[in-house]
Structure 1
Amino acid sequence: MRNPLDPAELSAALENVHRAGIPGLFAEVRAGDHVWRGAAGVADVATGRPVTADMRHRVGSITKTFTAAAVLQQVESGQIDLDAPIGRYLPKLVPGERGDAITVRMLINHTSGLAEYLPYAYPSLKGMPVIAETGPQSLDDHRFTRFDPAELIEMGVTAPAVSAPGGAPGVYSNTNYLLLVQLLEQVTGTTAERYITRHVIERAGLRDTAFPAGPYVKGPHSQLYEAWFGMIDPPRDYSVYDMSWVGPSASLISTVADLNRFYGMLLAGEIIGPSSLAQMQRTVPVVSQEGKTIDYGLGLHPMEGPGQGTFWGHGGTVWGGGALAMIRADGERQLAVAVNMQRWNRLDSSGTPQPHPIDDALATLYRVAMYG
C-alpha cells in the first residue's frame, strides 16, 4: 500500500511552526499502519539541546479524557449513575440545592455552572477571562505550592455560578474535574491516580504515561516556556512545577506516541464499551477557556475538518507547555503534537489575543497531518 504520509511535507510543516516562534515541538502522525514522527527546534533555549519526538511532556487537559474514561468504567460497573446528582456521592463538597441539581454528566461535559477555581487560587489571574487585567505573578508564587483539592473545589463551588446547572452553553471549568477525581476516589476506595493508572493507562499499554510524583518530569523532556501574552519576555521556564493546582484533571505526563495509542484504543472500544463511547460523543455547546463556543462531549470533543469527516480528541495546556491529540472518527488518521511554549499571542487594548504567525503555522501542520 502506498504510504499516505509525506515525510518531507510533514517535516517542513513542523519546521515552519518552529520558525514562526515556538522554541521546540514534536509530533507523531498515523495513517493506517504508517507512522511518522518528527521534531523541530530546541528543548532548551540556553543550551540549544534539540527536541526529539520521543520526549515526555506535560499534556494538560488531555488528562480529562483519561479521567472521563475512568468514570465511565465505573458507570459500566454500576458504581456511578451518570444522571445522578453529585450531592448523592459528595454532599459535603457540593451541598444543598446545587448538589441536588448538578449531575455527574454535567460535571463531565462542563454544564454544571460551577465556576473555575483558578482565578481564586492564583490571584494575579483574577481578571480572567478579561486577560488584559491579569498578570503572571501567581505563576511564580505557586511553583512549589501543594494545594489541597478540597480547598480548590470549595473556591469553585462558593464562587458565583457561571450558569444554571444543565444550562446552555456550558462553561469549561477545572472545578468539575476535581470533583470527578473525588467521586472516583469515593467509589473505588483508592486514589484517582492509582485507579486511572491501573485501569486506563495500563489497560491501553502506555509505557511512558504517568502522573507526576513531584514537581519534576522524569525522563527526557523539554523545558516549558510561558510567555503569558507577552507579559513574560523572554518567556520563562516552568518545566519544574508542582501540579497539585490541577491534580488528575490536567497533570498527566505522556508522549505523542502514547497519546495516539490511547485515543486509537479508546475509539476502538478497548478502554470503555461502545455504549459508553457513544455517551462520550454526545456533545453540548460549551464556552472554552479561550472564550470560544465549542461542542463538548464527555471528556472528548469533535474537531471538524474540510470534507474529511470528524476528528475526536482533546487539547491541553500547562504553564509553558501545550499538546493536542486527535483521531478521525474511523480511526484511520491520527495526530499528536506537543509544543514547549504557551500564550504567545499578545493582547490589544481590550484584552483580545492578537493573531500570531504561530497560529497559521499550526493550522497548516494540522491540515497536512490530517489530510496530507
Structure 2
Amino acid sequence: MGGAGEGAYARRPVQRFVVLLLVAGVLAVIGLGLSAPRSTGPDPLTSAASPTPGAVQETPASAVVETKLTPPTAPAAVVSAAPPPAPSADVSSRPEPAARSSQQLPLPTANPPAVSAPPAPMPAFDAAMNAVLAEGYPGGSLAVVRDGKLVYTRGYGFAKAGVAATPMTRYRQASVSKAVTGSLLAQLVTNGTLTMDLRVFPYLGVAPVDPRTNAITVRMLKDHTSGFAGDYFLFESRKAATFYGVASPPDPDTMVRWTAHYQLATDPGSTYHYNNTNYAILSRVIEKATGRAWIDLVRDMAKPFGIATWRLGTSLARPADEATYYEADTFKFGPSVFDSVPGTVETPYGAYDAASLNGAVALVSTVIDMARYDQGVAMGGIPAPELDAIPTKAGWSYTYVYNGSMPGQYTFVMRVWDGAHLTVMAGAFNHRDAGAIDETINGRILDAYRATTAWPAVDLFPNY
C-alpha cells in the first residue's frame, strides 16, 4: 500500500530509483510505480500527489518502458461487476486468526541459529546485506542469478524470533507485485483478452460521481495516470464498510464503488499520481475479463519457469514459512480494518487489507522465485511489465530496479546487463526504515555487484 496500515499514520514518502545505463551516457529514470512515466510524461518526483495526511505511504515499484502492443478489440461492456473469483486453496487463504494482542514482538536480539555455509563466498554481497542488518533490520534473504544460473543465495539474520532467515523464507513483495501484474496484463493484451484502451468503470458496471472517471482506461491504470490521487483501497476500508453497511474490510467490488465516489484530482491520462488504487482496480478488471483469481493467473504464468512459492498474502495470517514483519517505531501500530480484530494492531497485521489490494501489493514469494521471475522476463519467456529494454547492439548496458515497501517489509528485484552478462538480484527484508536507510539499500546491492569480479561457476537452482 502506499504504506501499510494506512489509516492514520503520518510519514513521508520514500522515493525509489531506477537507473538505465547506456553506452553514450547515463539516463536516470526514477519510477514511482510499476512503470516509469512514458518519455513524454511527467516527472514522478515533481508530479506525484502529496501523501494523504496521517497516512503511511508505500514506496513505488519499478521502471520500464511504454508497451508497444497493438490493442485488440475491447471486450463488450457489461452492466454489473462479477464477484471476485475465489483463489485456489493455499496456506494464505485459511481463515484469519482470532483477535490477538496489539503488543509488538520485540525485534530479535540473540544471534540467529547457524545456517549452512554457501557453496562459494561472495563477500561483497554478504557485506552489503549485513550492513543493512547492522542498521537494525532483523533479517533478509538474497538470490543472485548470473546468465540464467543461481550462483548465490542465502539468508541473513532472523525471519522471526528464534528462526533464521533462509533462501526459502517467504516475504510479502509489496509493490514488486505490480511488476508481476504488469507481466500478466501484457500477456492478456497479447492474447486479446484485454485491450489497453478498455474503459474501466463502464466495463465494471460502476457509475462514478465524476463523469471524467468513465474515461479511465486500462492503460491509465497501468501508467498511474488515471487521475486518482488517493490510496482509497489502502486507507479507507473501514470508512467504505461503514458507508455501505457491510463487514470490514469490504470486498474489492465494494472498494471499486467507493473509489468512484471521489472527484478526480486531474483529467484522466494527463498526470502521473502513484498509488495502489490503480493496480487494485486493474486486478479487478483482469479477474473479470478472465473469470479467474489474480493469484491463480500469475501462478499459471510463472509455473513453466519453476516458480512454485507464489501465493496471495493476507494481513492477519502468520504462516510458518513466512517472515514476521517488524515496522519502524513511528508506524508500528494502527487501527484495525478487520471487524474480527477490533482496536489497535501492529500495522503489518491488520491495519490494511492486503488481499483486497491484490495485484498492487499482495504477492508473497521467496527471493529465489522472484529472481526466477525476472530472469524469465529478461529472456522473453514471461511478458515484460512493459516493453522490455534488453539491448540489441553490442556494448549497450542497463540496470532495472523494482522496489516494494510496506510496513515491516522492503523488497527489490534488480537486473543488470553489462553487454556480456545478465545478472538478476532479488532481495527482501522483514523491516523497513521508511526513510534514509531504505534509500541506501539499492545502492549497497549495486555496489556489491560492481565490486564482484569472480563469479561462482555453479548453478544452485536444482537445489531449490
TM-score by length of 1: 0.71
CA distance in 1, matches of 2:450, 2:407: 27
Q: Which residue of structure 2 lines up, in the alignment, with residue 128 of structure 1? A: none
Confirm or deny: 8 A CA contact 1:147 1:244 kept in the other structure: no
Q: Which residue of structure 2 lines up, in the alignment, with residue 190 of structure 1? A: 292
Secondary structure of 2:144's aligned partner: strand
Whether 1:310 and 2:398 are equivalent positions in the alignment is yes
Aligned partner of 1:251 among 325, 337, 362: 362
Please tell me the residue identity of whatever aligns with 1:27: L
How far did 1:93 drift?
A: 5.9
Aligned partner of 2:194 among 64, 80, 84: 80
Aligned partner of 2:444 among 354, 364, 371: 364
Aligned partner of 2:308 among 185, 207, 212: 207
Please tell me the residue identity of whatever aligns with 1:268: M
Q: Which residue of structure 1 lines up, in the alignment, with residue 16 of structure 2? A: none
CA distance in 2, matches of 1:122, 1:312: 37
Please tell me the residue identity of whatever aligns with 1:207: A
Cα distance 1:237–1:97, how it changes in 2: closer, same or farther (>3 A)? closer
Aligned partner of 1:71 among 149, 167, 185: 185
Confirm or deny: 8 A CA contact 2:237 2:248 kept in the other structure: no
Q: Which residue of structure 2 lines up, in the alignment, with residue 337 of structure 1? A: 427
Q: Which residue of structure 1 lines up, in the alignment, with residue 228 of structure 2? A: 114
Cα distance 1:221–1:370, how it changes in 2: closer, same or farther (>3 A)? farther
Cα distance 1:366–1:194, how it changes in 2: closer, same or farther (>3 A)? same
Secondary structure of 2:270's aligned partner: coil
Whether 1:24 and 2:139 are equivalent positions in the alignment is yes
Whether 1:35 and 2:151 are equivalent positions in the alignment is yes
Confirm or deny: 8 A CA contact 2:143 2:150 kept in the other structure: no
Cα distance 1:90–1:212, how it changes in 2: closer, same or farther (>3 A)? same
Confirm or deny: 8 A CA contact 1:55 1:222 kept in the other structure: yes
Confirm or deny: 8 A CA contact 1:26 1:39 kept in the other structure: yes
Aligned partner of 1:98 among 198, 205, 212: 212
How far did 1:99 drift?
A: 4.3
Please tell me the residue identity of whatever aligns with 2:206: K
How far did 1:21 drift?
A: 1.7
Cα distance 1:31–1:339, how it changes in 2: closer, same or farther (>3 A)? same
CA distance in 1, matches of 2:311, 2:322: 14
CA distance in 2, matches of 1:181, 1:361: 29
Confirm or deny: 8 A CA contact 2:311 2:363 kept in the other structure: yes
CA distance in 1, matches of 2:364, 2:135: 26
Confirm or deny: 8 A CA contact 1:39 1:52 kept in the other structure: yes
Aligned-residue CA RMSD in angstroms? 3.2
Confirm or deny: 8 A CA contact 1:87 1:96 kept in the other structure: no
CA distance in 1, matches of 2:191, 2:282: 16
Secondary structure of 2:311's aligned partner: coil
Q: Which residue of structure 2 lines up, in the alignment, with residue 149 of structure 1? A: 252
- The C-alpha deviation readout for 1:313-353, integer Å capped at 9, x for no partner, is 422233311211121257701111101112443xxxxxxxx
Count of residues paired in the alignment: 304
Cα distance 1:312–1:216, how it changes in 2: closer, same or farther (>3 A)? same
Aligned partner of 1:180 among 278, 282, 289: 282
Unaligned runs of 5+ in 2: 1-119, 240-246, 334-344, 453-464
Q: Which residue of structure 2 lines up, in the alignment, with residue 320 of structure 1? A: 408
Confirm or deny: 8 A CA contact 1:28 1:53 kept in the other structure: yes
Secondary structure of 1:20's aligned partner: coil
CA distance in 2, matches of 1:179, 1:250: 12
Cα distance 1:153–1:100, how it changes in 2: closer, same or farther (>3 A)? closer
Please tell me the residue identity of whatever aligns with 2:184: A
Please tell me the residue identity of whatever aligns with 1:365: I
Cα distance 1:317–1:91, how it changes in 2: closer, same or farther (>3 A)? same
- Aligned residues with identical type, % of pairs: 23
Cα distance 1:313–1:361, how it changes in 2: closer, same or farther (>3 A)? closer
CA distance in 1, matches of 2:314, 2:326: 21
How far did 1:219 drift?
A: 4.5
Q: Mean alpha-carbon deviation: is it higher for 80-89 or for 9-18?
A: 80-89
Unaligned runs of 5+ in 1: 124-143, 283-301, 346-354
Cα distance 1:172–1:21, how it changes in 2: closer, same or farther (>3 A)? same
CA distance in 2, matches of 1:260, 1:367: 18
CA distance in 2, matches of 1:268, 1:248: 23
How far did 1:13 drift?
A: 1.6
Cα distance 1:96–1:281, how it changes in 2: closer, same or farther (>3 A)? farther
Cα distance 1:156–1:281, how it changes in 2: closer, same or farther (>3 A)? farther
Cα distance 1:13–1:50, how it changes in 2: closer, same or farther (>3 A)? same
Please tell me the residue identity of whatever aligns with 1:40: Y
Secondary structure of 1:69's aligned partner: helix
Confirm or deny: 8 A CA contact 1:43 1:51 kept in the other structure: yes
Aligned partner of 1:216 among 299, 317, 326: 317
How far did 1:104 drift?
A: 0.9
How far did 1:96 drift?
A: 7.0
CA distance in 2, matches of 1:68, 1:94: 25
CA distance in 1, matches of 2:431, 2:443: 16
How far did 1:12 drift?
A: 1.6
Confirm or deny: 8 A CA contact 1:223 1:239 kept in the other structure: no
Confirm or deny: 8 A CA contact 1:29 1:35 kept in the other structure: yes
Aligned partner of 2:381 among 249, 260, 270: 270
Secondary structure of 1:246's aligned partner: helix
Higher helix share: 1
Cα distance 1:9–1:63, how it changes in 2: closer, same or farther (>3 A)? same
Secondary structure of 2:159's aligned partner: coil
Whether 1:166 and 2:282 are equivalent positions in the alignment is no
- The C-alpha deviation readout for 1:94-151, integer Å capped at 9, x for no partner, is 577434421211111111111321333378xxxxxxxxxxxxxxxxxxxx95431123
Confirm or deny: 8 A CA contact 1:322 1:338 kept in the other structure: yes
